[in-house]
Amino acid sequence: MVTTDEEKHVTRYRRPWWKGVRQHWPLLVFVFFIVLAALLYSNGGKYRVMSGTAERVVENVASLESARVASVEVEVGDHVDAGDIIAHLDTSVIDAENAVQKERIVRARLEAQLDRLTLERQFSSTLQDAEKALREAELELRLRAVEHKALTTEIERLKPLLEKKLISAESLAEKNSRESILSETLKLMPDHIAALAADVDYAKEQKISALARMDEMKESIVSATDAQGEALKLLSIRRDGFTLRAQQEGTVAQVDRQPGEVVEPGGTIASLLIKGPIRVVGFLPESDLSAVVIGTPANIYPTVSLKDTGVITGRVIQISPAVYSLPERASPIRGQIVRGRRVVIALDEDANLIPGETVSIEIESSLFGPVSLTD
């Protein structure tokens, strides 16, 4: 091959390496993302992140009966202690029931006393009449006996006079007739007196029996009034229930009713956030059920309170025994239903989280085995 003079004078230079790399930048970017994905995958196997909420126990102050709200004694944000009055319900209806019940008790007692007095007076009058008739019969018997004795003596005295014809026969016959009547009367009077005595005994028995029945009626009336008294106590207890009080110390989170509104049974008047440690409830998707056991440490990242509290540490203290449909916030795709377990986490120290705020929970899962409900 013949080389020309021009080719002899051409100088050849080596091309820089970095220019070749720039030409193949798509391949380099692809390799970079492959390495990054591998790193993320390896670290992702060690940690799990789930969403959750900061929760605090809420007490709903509610009415047990339908009533009108008379007054509300608290406002949102007020601190209340156990026993503090939250609201008053209108007691006019129950007060009317109470008054009617008391009137029934008083009326029942008065009617029982009146019936007892009437019956006792009736049988006492019957007994008195029988005893009076007996006394009169006994008195009459004694008088007739005295008269018969005197008349017999008189007849014996007049018989000699009649024989001497000093008196008329008619006069002695009249006295003999009277003596015969008295004699027959004296024979009948003991039976009559015995009958009257039996009437007296019967009247006494009737009175005793009536009083015994009245005592039984009194006991039943007392039982009835006692039952009505218990009803009054129940009304009093119901009336006390118209004053709604806080059961525990806390802060008023919401006032749902205003004076003048009618609340149904179970209707909430106000909601209280109970004082105490806030717990964190996480939503563990079904695909990560093997990531958590009781005692698993967790790092909690609040959404609202992060600047004030920083990252908070805690431990899993409870795992729901079954799989449920989780809230929508636990789903990475809006509207998609995610199933899993609720995980309760106790904080290692008190933190000023806002109840209800969303938190992210990071748990280190590579140290633990599958979930066991017996843990």
> In this structure, which amino acid lies at residue 183?
S
Q: How far apart are CA 72 and CA 87, in angstroms?
A: 4
If one compares 47 and 235, the residue with the highest pLDDT of the two is 235
Q: What is the pLDDT of residue 320?
A: 86
Where helices occur in 299-362 by DSSP H, the ranges are 306-309
The gap between the terminal CA atoms of the chain, to the nearest Å, is 88
pTM: 0.49
Sorting pLDDT into bands at 50, 70 and 90, what band is 207?
confident
Q: What is the pLDDT of residue 74?
A: 92
Q: How far apart are CA 37 and CA 362, in angstroms?
A: 20
Domain boundaries, the chain: 59-90+242-272, 93-240, 277-375
Q: What is the pLDDT of residue 44?
A: 47
CA nearest neighbour of 352 among 246, 251, 247, 248 = 251
Sorting pLDDT into bands at 50, 70 and 90, what band is 224?
low
Q: What is the pLDDT of residue 368?
A: 44
Sorting pLDDT into bands at 50, 70 and 90, what band is 255?
very high
pLDDT at 20 exceeding the cut of 60: no
Q: What is the pLDDT of residue 88?
A: 92
User: Of the given ranges (243-247, 306-310, 367-371), which has the lowest mean pLDDT?
Assistant: 367-371
Do 298 and 348 touch, CB atoms closer than 8 A? no
Q: Write the CB contacts of 185 (distance below 8 Å, at least 6 apart in sequence).
A: 144
Share of the chain above pLDDT 90, in %: 10
Q: Write the CB contacts of 202 (distance below 8 Å, at least 6 apart in sequence).
A: 130
Name the β-bridge partners of 283. 342
pLDDT (mean) for 260-286: 85
Q: Is 130 helix (H, G, I), strand (E, B) or coil?
A: helix
If one compares 208 and 22, the residue with the highest pLDDT of the two is 208
pLDDT at 346 exceeding the cut of 60: yes
pLDDT digits (tens, 9 = 90+) for 160-198: 887 887 778 888 888 888 888 888 888 888 888 888 889
Do 363 and 296 touch, CB atoms closer than 8 A? yes
Q: Find the radius of gyration of the CA atoms of the chain.
A: 55
Tokens in use for 206? 């009737």
Q: How far apart are CA 44 and CA 66, in angstroms?
A: 56
Sorting pLDDT into bands at 50, 70 and 90, what band is 202?
confident
Give the H/E segment covering residue 67: strand 67-72
What is the CB neighbour count within 10 angstroms for residue 365?
Answer: 18
What is the CB neighbour count within 10 angstroms for residue 95?
Answer: 13
User: Of the given ranges (24-33, 94-103, 249-258, 317-326), which has the lowest mean pLDDT?
Assistant: 24-33
Average pLDDT, whole number, for the chain?
Answer: 78
Tell me the fold of 277-375: Elongation Factor Tu (Ef-tu); domain 3 (2.40.30)
pLDDT (mean) for 296-300: 88
Q: In degrees to the nearest 10, what's the CA dihedral of 343, 347, 353, 358? A: -20
If one compares 341 and 333, the residue with the highest pLDDT of the two is 341
Where helices occur in 241-324 by DSSP H, the ranges are 306-309
Sorting pLDDT into bands at 50, 70 and 90, what band is 43?
very low
pLDDT (mean) for 76-96: 89
Tokens in use for 37? 């994905």
Q: How far apart are CA 59 and CA 168, in angstroms?
A: 121
Tokens in use for 346? 């106790």
If one compares 144 and 227, the residue with the highest pLDDT of the two is 144
- Domain 59-90+242-272 part of CATH 3.60.20.10: no
